[in-house]
Amino acid sequence: QIQLVQSGPELKKPGESVKISCKASGYTFTDYAMHWVKQAPGKGLKWMGWINTYTGKPTYADDFKGRFVFSLEASASTANLQISNLKNEDTATYFCARVAAIPFDYWGQGVMVTVSS
């Protein structure tokens, strides 16, 4: 069955970096784009951008340009999100979700990233 399985929760200090993974299974990885969505504690959903899983080209929403990097390990059907120079406001749950003709039909379970000194 189709699954997006994300890595486990992270506790980091300000200024550190974190890398979150999203492993896809049950479908052809390169047939679907992978999007990333942020949800701060008790808040709504915010679109971060997406990566073309065929070409590897990332596209970032304006608020996520600079410290955020989308990447792929295509041979492992995995999409990654790396955040550098972590700030307190990066504390959130980060979701991956696949998109093609039908958007957001499958989601990862989410990864809670806590940034605290």
Partner 1 sequence: DVVLTQTPPTLSATIGQSVSISCRSSQSLLHSNGNTYLNWLLQRPGQPPQLLIYLVSRLESGVPNRFSGSGSGTDFTLKISGVEAEDLGVYYCVQSTHAPWTFGGGTKLELK
The residues that touch partner 1, with contacts defined as CB under 8 A, are: 35, 37, 44-47, 49, 59, 61-62, 95, 97, 99, 102-105, 107-110
CB nearer to partner 1: pick between 43 and 75: 43
CA distance 11 to 114: 5
CB of 105 to partner 1, least distance (A): 5
CB of 104 to partner 1, least distance (A): 5
CB nearer to partner 1: pick between 15 and 26: 26
CB nearer to partner 1: pick between 12 and 46: 46
CB of 90 to partner 1, least distance (A): 18
